[in-house]
């Protein structure tokens, strides 16, 4: 983790949850929950609700097919952490091989917006999967998520068992909608002003940093984050990074919806 606050800055309920989980599983909490449960009122609460609905709620796609779309998104954004995680989840949730034609069409649609020969609800569900993991992929790349021994099997089985849901006392109330995500990350009060976060969402903040998060997050290095720390707090870096990641994901999502006639 390239930000100390994502390792040690959590509120007491999250710290207690991490400790209990480690005691039961004998495996430390993985980097993804650490990032998403840091300041859940800013981002993680609504995002986790959206993720649970997308990945295990009612859908045209099976759980295994959604994990396949998540893996393909992770491969496209060059996020090895997430690609390995979702390859494992495919085996747990149900390997969809051989892939049905609709899944291949959805994957092509997400790649380059090839007009999908799909029911509209199937295409929208696929866009939702892509939206969620385009955010996670970028955060994993920028913040340097790493898998520790035992975390892959323990973490993926817990995600599947609990349907991507975390206790409500950790996440707070939320509707889990894209509108709520936009509002929370780009409009609500935070350490950084909304205008800076909206600029980051468009790739126009802090020199080339926000643009790189959007277009090539795998190129962000330890040195890049260290330079930012000279002028900005870790909370500011966290917010701008999340805004850039969410902005890029929403841009792809909005483009896909326009192709569907929305």
For the segment 23-59, what is each residue's pLDDT rounded down to a tens digit?
999 999 999 999 999 999 999 999 999 999 999 999 9
Asked if residue 24 is part of any domain, the answer here is: no
Mean pLDDT of the chain: 96
Q: Are 79 and 145 in contact (CB under 8 A)?
A: no
Say what the pLDDT of residue 48 is: 97
Angle between the N-to-C axes of helices 63-76 and 101-112, in degrees from 0 to 180, rounded to the nearest 10: 30
Say what the pLDDT of residue 145 is: 98
Asked if residue 1 is part of any domain, the answer here is: no
Asked if residue 50 is part of any domain, the answer here is: yes
pTM reported for the whole predicted model = 0.97
The predicted-structure confidence for 48-98, as pLDDT tens digits, reads as follows 999 999 999 999 999 999 999 999 999 999 999 999 999 999 999 999 999
- pLDDT confidence of 1, banded at 50, 70, 90? confident
What distance lies between CA 43 and its chain's CA centroid?
11
Say what the pLDDT of residue 262 is: 87
Q: Per-residue pLDDT for 10 more than 90?
A: yes
Q: Per-residue pLDDT for 109 more than 90?
A: yes
Q: What is the C-alpha to C-alpha distance for residues 139 and 81, in angstroms, rounded to an integer?
A: 11
Phi-psi region of 26 (alpha: psi -120 to 50; beta: other; left: phi over 0): left
Asked if residue 9 is part of any domain, the answer here is: no
Q: Name the nearest CA neighbour of 156 among 226, 93, 225, 74.
A: 93
**Domain span at 45:** 41-164+175-259
Domain count, the chain: 1
Asked if residue 35 is part of any domain, the answer here is: no
Asked if residue 32 is part of any domain, the answer here is: no
Burial readout 4-29 (b: 16 or more C-beta within 10 A, e: otherwise): ebbeebbeeebeebbeebeeebebbb
Q: What does the block give as tokens for 18?
A: 């991490």
- pLDDT confidence of 175, banded at 50, 70, 90? confident
Asked if residue 81 is part of any domain, the answer here is: yes
Asked if residue 34 is part of any domain, the answer here is: no
């Amino acid at each position: 983790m390239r930000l100390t606050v994502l390792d040690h800055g959590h509120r007491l309920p999250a710290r207690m949850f991490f400790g209990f989980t480690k005691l039961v599983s004998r495996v430390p909490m993985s980097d993804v929950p650490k990032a998403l449960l840091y300041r859940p009122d800013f981002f993680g609460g609504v995002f986790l609700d959206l993720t649970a609905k997308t990945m295990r709620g009612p859908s045209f796609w099976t759980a295994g097919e959604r994990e396949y779309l998540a893996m393909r998104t992770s491969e496209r954004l060059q996020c090895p952490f997430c690609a390995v995680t979702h390859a494992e989840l495919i085996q747990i949730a149900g390997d969809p091989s051989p892939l049905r034609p609709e899944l291949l069409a959805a994957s092509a649609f997400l790649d380059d917006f090839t007009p999908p020969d799909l029911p509209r609800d199937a295409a929208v569900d696929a866009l939702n999967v892509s939206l969620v993991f385009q955010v996670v992929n970028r955060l994993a790349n920028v913040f340097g998520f790493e898998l520790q021994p035992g975390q892959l099997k323990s973490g993926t089985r817990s995600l599947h068992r609990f349907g991507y849901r975390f206790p409500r006392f950790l996440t707070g109330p939320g509707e889990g909608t894209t509108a709520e995500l936009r509002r929370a990350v780009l409009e609500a009060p935070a350490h950084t002003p909304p205008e800076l976060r909206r600029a980051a969402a468009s790739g126009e903040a802090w020199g080339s940093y926000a643009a790189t998060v959007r277009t090539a997050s795998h190129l962000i290095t330890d040195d890049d984050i260290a330079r930012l720390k000279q002028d900005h707090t870790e909370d500011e870096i966290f917010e701008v990074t999340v805004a850039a990641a969410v902005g890029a994901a929403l841009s792809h999502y909005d483009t896909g919806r326009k192709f569907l006639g929305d």
